[in-house]
Structure 1
């Protein structure tokens, strides 16, 4: 069944569950071999997932934030790498549709291709020389005007889902010192993916380096000016905590199943009857409830707020990412304590959850930035 034929969120979640079940076993293989789950992305395309955030005015479903985040969480319970990877595409479609900052002809072309041809896109902003773009570093990647074209040169890192992408949104410094975003086709001459990704976490995201050597693009592929380090509130980035919440749920599921079946000969039954095991499982359930209320409560507030009201939500959005990701880390840790030493066995998926969930600490916004903004707001209230 296609997602576009589903009538409500619960039906869509069921379809995603059915599709993503195969992702779990593949996740083990791609993690061990450090490869990209292209088949997962293809199957998500086949059920219409990758176009769900295309606005209704263009023929898409225009799913609100809270609804597509719930689907992202489902995918993450089967494979965090696939969830995080496709989340960038889903979120960027949401973002460009809400901001309407792109040239209209390019915007319409990209949405058409996403809806009818299954095209995928992601931003390429991080660089080895500048680190995270949220810190304010100016790109060393350059864009030079050449008559009716731009010539792009540079190198980007952390380009998630790079093998499957059709378009890269690349930030580059122009000759006048301003920074802009440019749309680059994967098939353009001078575009090269260097397979550098060898992290211990989220190995299946294929977040390789993108090399751009004298890449010539049309003049109208200049998308918008950007100010390094300045970030407007972006609800779509909540796909990040939604992903790690799904990984935490997967670890909890593993621990519950293990505790229900593991029965050492020192006990009359399974370890699920031990008070210390029940306490840890209960603590995890409490943390999962709290994280979901916070994540989806703020997402629903975003969906129901005006553009002006959303400008005041930066700290709420950052707090969700901070609280949910750190809770997810604690949940996975407790789940491993339930399982014990067997949680370290490579044959058990929980050790992958443990590695993957820690990657959330390094996705934007960073914890220190969020906490400083919250502290600044608190001090400002008493002035």
Structure 2
């Protein structure tokens, strides 16, 4: 359903999600119901995505001026954590969409017709968007460099040509926000403009290359995608401003409050691992012991260690965001290393659970095996550990 605000802008009647702990737990359970199935097949996790959409979670960060709930960063992190506990592949696709809506609410920049179409789709069915940035040769752009994927002026707008890698969401995406270089040799500065161009997911000239055969998040459909003469309107391009020295600073190279959504989904994975460990411990009764292993001090200590690591990760994530919400900007320089600490705690929690169970923990019919594979994927999100630690070290040493 659409309406018009006082300024004549179209707005949309988007649901206000129930973010109570009980409602989020219900969403987690519904999404988790199909997670193992999609992990095995690697197909787009349609049932989990639909469950998240029905709960109103996919459009939770749409700005109020567009008719959305406009939830803030802390609640967005709670949403992502709950979905990640159910299925991190679903959570990653939803997270990227939530971040796109939040950025539009704060900064704007989307071509109005494209964003209107995205919201119109979102009212009646799940609609997802992702920033398509990495390339096979360049790798992750947070390490520097500019994209080889280009846009070239045409009579009616732009033509896009290029090959992108690790494009999470695959064919489930309604829109791609593609990182490109403008092929404009006659610009006064003689420097190519760099930015993002929004592309409808069903545009002619898009070809998906099914390259994703990963250890974890197997249903995220993070495939390669090729753009061959894809045409979009001129207004679909949004330039990234240059730095004073003329260089481009990649937005993903520096952690911001919104970037805590990605670690949050893996905190959800660690919580799922804790649940799986507890369930196994309560039901495992070795004949030599004659009682559940949950009643032994060793397993109780392991459970305590898992809980400690999860408490550490949750406190770091939510506590940092609350400090920022309260106006404490002193923590801003440490956001990247805080994300590293969260990643270490998540991996430690899941590895501790698996190690304590031995062979059963590494068996495919045990959920812990999947949770460990998924948790390890937290390390690939920018800024990555070595980069974050070097930057922090230079700051501390005044280099």
* TM-score with structure 1 setting the length: 0.90
Q: What is the distance in 1 between the residues matched to 2:33 and 2:118?
A: 33
- Is the alpha carbon distance of 1:118 and 1:36 closer, same or farther for their aligned partners in structure 2, counting shifts above 3 Å? closer
The residue aligned with 2:200 is 185
User: Is the partner of 1:192 in helix, strand or coil?
Assistant: strand
Say yes or no: does 1:262 pair with 2:284: yes
Picking from 280, 304, 309, the partner of 2:302 is: 280
User: Is the partner of 1:180 in helix, strand or coil?
Assistant: strand
Which runs of 4 or more aligned residues in structure 1 lie more than 6 Å from their structure 2 counterparts after TM superposition? none
Alignment gaps of 5+ in structure 2: 1-12, 185-191, 242-247
Q: What is the distance in 1 between the residues matched to 2:285 and 2:95?
A: 39
**Pairs within 5 Å for 1:226-305:** 227=248, 229=250, 231=253, 233-305=255-327
Q: What is the distance in 1 between the residues matched to 2:279 and 2:267?
A: 18
**Cα distance per residue 1:160-184 (max 9 Å; x no partner):** 1122111000011112422121010
The residue aligned with 1:360 is 378
**Cα distance per residue 1:113-160 (max 9 Å; x no partner):** 545664321110000110001011211101111133101000111111
Q: Tell me the matched-pair count.
A: 373
8 Å contact 2:35–2:87 — kept in the other structure?
A: yes
Say yes or no: does 1:196 pair with 2:211: yes
Alignment gaps of 5+ in structure 1: none
- Is the alpha carbon distance of 1:163 and 1:16 closer, same or farther for their aligned partners in structure 2, counting shifts above 3 Å? farther
Alpha-carbon distance, 1:101 to partner: 3.9
**Cα distance per residue 1:12-34 (max 9 Å; x no partner):** x4233223323324211111122
- Is the alpha carbon distance of 1:134 and 1:5 closer, same or farther for their aligned partners in structure 2, counting shifts above 3 Å? closer
Q: What is the distance in 1 between the residues matched to 2:153 and 2:14?
A: 43
CA RMSD, Structure 1 to Structure 2 (Å): 2.3
- Is the alpha carbon distance of 1:224 and 1:106 closer, same or farther for their aligned partners in structure 2, counting shifts above 3 Å? farther
8 Å contact 1:137–1:228 — kept in the other structure?
A: no
8 Å contact 1:240–1:321 — kept in the other structure?
A: no
The residue aligned with 1:374 is 392
Q: Which moved more, 1:345-354 or 1:266-275?
A: 266-275
Picking from 51, 55, 61, the partner of 1:43 is: 51
Picking from 135, 151, 158, the partner of 1:150 is: 158
Q: Which moved more, 1:51-60 or 1:264-273?
A: 264-273
* TM-score with structure 2 setting the length: 0.87
Q: What is the distance in 1 between the residues matched to 2:206 and 2:397?
A: 48
Picking from 35, 49, 61, the partner of 1:53 is: 61
**Cα distance per residue 1:274-300 (max 9 Å; x no partner):** 222222111111121121111001222
User: Is the partner of 1:17 in helix, strand or coil?
Assistant: helix
User: Is the partner of 1:214 in helix, strand or coil?
Assistant: strand
The residue aligned with 1:343 is 361
Q: What is the distance in 2 between the residues matched to 1:293 and 1:152?
A: 43
8 Å contact 2:176–2:198 — kept in the other structure?
A: yes
Q: What is the distance in 2 between the residues matched to 1:163 and 1:16?
A: 27
Q: Which moved more, 1:195-204 or 1:13-22?
A: 13-22
User: Is the partner of 1:49 in helix, strand or coil?
Assistant: coil
Q: Which moved more, 1:101-110 or 1:265-274?
A: 101-110
Alpha-carbon distance, 1:99 to partner: 2.4
